[in-house]
Amino acid sequence: MRSALIVYGGWEGHDPEECATIYRRWLHEDGYSVRTATETSAFADPSIRDLSLIVPIYTMSKIAKEEVENLVKAVEGGVGLAGHHGGMSDAFREAVDYQFMVGGQWVAHPGNIIDYTVDVTKPDDPIMDGIPANFPYKSEQYYMHVDPSNEVLATTTFTGEHASWIDGVVMPVVWKRRHGQGKVFHMTLGHQAKEFENENMATIMRRGMNWAARDE
């Protein structure tokens, strides 16, 4: 049986507990044994290197050196890593090795909650199969610093309405990548748990987690 660890906490504005509940239900339905933790000390446990998947939901906060080192080694050894929005890409801002592994870091969300469009760039990828080529979304539109080696599956384009200097900038929204032997998946959608009611968003995230999980 595949096994997963969900570690949630940090800034409460991203509904970490509610999101963890959604992930736990999905993973159980998809055949995983799942455990959860609310402290970053879970990342320091050597046993995480035997997992199939790790899901961080831990906006901002801090992570100890031994915790991030063990987490990175687990992924390099083949454990999958998957998550969404600031729970994964605005976590542990001082941990450069963590950002290197994730493939991106949040910078800003001009205009806060706004209407924008998500554009699928790789419709033939199994994660994006059947997702509309362009779909409307309402949330924070994340401006990111991203690794150019990411395999980008969807993007969004900034209008410049809220920050004129980024008018026309095309920004990754969904990507996957390798980090050592591990697979990493990230989606910037999902400021609050209610956004998982969006079928396109939920489908992408659920498929992405299953893609990232270590092959058994």
216, pLDDT greater than 80: no
Average pLDDT, integer, range 5-12: 98
Neighbours of 103 (CB within 10 A): 27
Q: 132 pLDDT exceeds 80?
A: yes
Q: Which of 69, 66, 34 is nearest to 53 (CA)?
A: 34
Per-residue pLDDT, 215: 87
**What average pLDDT does the segment 158-185 reach?**
98
pLDDT in tens, 46-71: 999 999 999 999 999 999 999 999 99
Domains and CATH numbers, the chain: 2-212 (3.40.50.880)
Tell me: the pLDDT tens digits for 91-121?
A: 999 999 999 999 999 999 999 999 999 999 9
Supply the pLDDT for residue 63: 98
How is residue 207 written in tokens? 């498929």
More confident residue, 81 or 216: 81
- Is the pTM higher than 0.85? The answer reads yes
How much is the pLDDT for 171?
98
Q: Is the pLDDT of residue 79 over 90?
A: yes
The mean pLDDT value of the chain amounts to: 98
Mean pLDDT score, 15-20:
98
